Amino acid sequence: MYFAAKKTRKRAERYSALAGKEKAFSTFRLICLKRRGAGIACWDMKKTVLLLLAFVAVNLGAVVVAQEDISKLDKNFAVEKLGNIDVAYRDALSEPFVLEGFPWHEKGRKLFRLPHSTKPDDISGGVYSLASHTAGGVVRFRTDSPYIVLRASLLNTKPCMGHMPSTGSSGFDLFFDTNRYIKTVNPSHYMLEVPTPLVMPLAKNLPRKMRDCTLYLPLYNGVNSLEIGLAPDAKIEAPTPHKIKKPILFYGSSITQGACATRTSNAYAAMLCRALDAPMINLGFSGNAKGEIKMAELIASLDLAAFVYDYDYNAPTAEHLKKTHEQFFKIVRKARPDLPIIIFGKISGHTSERDGIVRATYENAVKNGDKKVWLVEGKKLFEGADYSYLTVDNCHPNDLGFFLMFKNSLPTLKEALGTD
C-alpha cells in the first residue's frame, strides 16, 4: 500500500510540474481510476488519505514556489529586515497610494510642481529650479499595518538653511485620520550628509485596524524616490476621499512655499487644507513668484475649488506689481468665471502704494459684478498680536505666525467655499 501511494505521488508531482494544479488534480483522478480498474483497492480509506496528502503537499509546494517567484518579479512583495521586524516596501507614488500637490505629474517622472514640458525660459530659471521642491506634496493611504517606515532619497542630501530647520525644509510629517499628528522625520540627525536612501520609522506598536495616513513632503527639498514600508501581511488601500473634492491652489512667495515653518505640515496652506479637508496645490516659489502670464495661464487650466494668491513680496517694484497683479487676476477669471479667488495682502513691509494696488484689483472686480472674489488684508492676519513673536527675520513667519495666518484667513476660505 505504501509503495503504491508513493508511486502515485511521484506521478502526480511529475504532472504538476508540467501542467500545474488543474492537470495534477485531473491526473490524480485518472491514476485512481486506473488503479481501481487494475484491481487495486485505490478507494480503500488509508490509500485515499495517503494519495490526498501527497496531492496537497505537491500543490502547497507549488504555491510556495509561486510566492518566491513573484517577490522577484514585483518588489512590492519583497520583504526586508529593519532591526527585528520584517518590512515590505511599496512605491508611494503608485496606486493604491494617492499623490496630491502635483497636478501635472506624469507616472515615472520626477516630482515636479509644473508641467514636465516646462522650460526655464517659459517662466524663469528660479521658478524652474524651485518647482523640484515638493512644497505642498502629500501622499495619502489607508492601512492596518502595526508599523510604518519611510524610505526616501532626497534631491539635496546636504540640506542647510540659515533660518529654517531641516525638519521643515527637508523633513516629512505623518498624520493619522487627517488631524492627528504622529511624527516628523528629521534628516538633520545626519550631521554631514543625509544617507541615500533615508530609512526611518514613522510609527510602531499600532493596533491592527484600518486608519487613514497622510504624509507631508519637504518644503524646500526635492524627493527622488519615496517608499512606504509596512508589515508584509498588512492591508493597503486608497484613502478616504476628501470632503472637498477639488484642490485649493496657493500661488505666491517664499511664505506661500512655507518659509520658515519648523515642520512641513505647519505652512499656512497645509493648515488650511487640513482644516477644510481639501487637496492642496502649493505653487509658492521663494523669491521668484512675479505674476508671469504663463503662470496665470497654467493656473487657469486647472479645475479648482478655490485659488489663493499673494506674490506682492516678489514683485520687484510697485510698477511691476501694478502691471501684473490685476492682469493675473483677469486671466484666471476669464477662464474660470465661477472660481472663488482669495487675494492676500502682505503681512509685513506695508506701503500705501503697494497695498493700494492689491486692493484695487479686488475693488475693480467687485465693481464689475464679480461675486466670487475676496480680499484678506495682510495687516489683519497678525492683528492684535505682538509682531516680535511671529517671524524669524521680520518677514518670514515662524510656526506661531503661520498659525495666526491660518486662523485669521480660515473664515474667509470657509465663506468662499460655502462650508460651515
Single-letter amino acid, residue 65: V
> Would you give the end-to-end CA distance of the chain in angstroms?
78
b/e per residue 11-39 (b: at least 16 CB within 10 A) = bbbebbeeeeeeebbebbeebbeebeeee
Q: Count the alpha carbons within 13 Å of 352 in the hemisphere toward its beta carbon.
A: 0
Distances (CA, A) of 53 to 3, 42, 245: 14, 14, 54
Summarised one tens digit per residue, pLDDT across range 315-348 is 999 999 999 999 999 999 999 999 999 999 999 9
Q: How far apart are CA 354 and CA 322, in angstroms?
A: 8
Q: How confident is the model at residue 89 (pLDDT cuts 50, 70, 90)?
A: very high
> What's the pLDDT score for residue 84?
86
* Residue partners of 366: CB distance under 8 A and separation at least 6: 373
- The residue ranking higher by pLDDT, 362 or 76, is 362
Q: pLDDT over 90 for what percent of the chain?
A: 73
Q: Which domains does the chain have, with CATH numbers?
A: 2-73 (no CATH), 80-101+136-241 (2.60.120.260), 242-420 (3.40.50.1110)
> Which residues are CB-contacts of 191 (< 8 A; sequence separation ≥ 6)?
none
Between these two residues, 54 and 84, which has the higher pLDDT value? Answer: 84
Q: What is the pLDDT of residue 39?
A: 43
- Exposed / middle / buried, residue 319 (Cβ in 10 Å: 0-12, 13-18, 19+): exposed
Q: Residues, the chain, total?
A: 420
What's the pLDDT tens digit per position in 108-122? Answer: 999 999 999 999 988
Contact between 266 and 120 under an 8 Å Cβ cutoff? The reply is no
Cα distances (Å, whole numbers) of residue 228 to 79, 137, 199, 201 = 12, 15, 10, 10
pLDDT tens-digit map of 355-413: 999 999 999 999 999 999 999 999 999 988 999 999 999 999 999 999 999 999 999 99
Higher per-residue confidence, 163 vs 20: 163
Would the pLDDT of 75 be above 80? no
Q: Centre a 10 Å sphere on the Cβ of residue 73 and count the other Cβ atoms it contains.
A: 9
Q: For the whole prediction, is pTM greater than 0.85?
A: no
pLDDT tens by residue, 172-228: 999 999 899 999 998 877 667 888 999 999 999 999 999 999 999 999 999 999 999
Mean predicted lDDT score pLDDT of the chain: 86
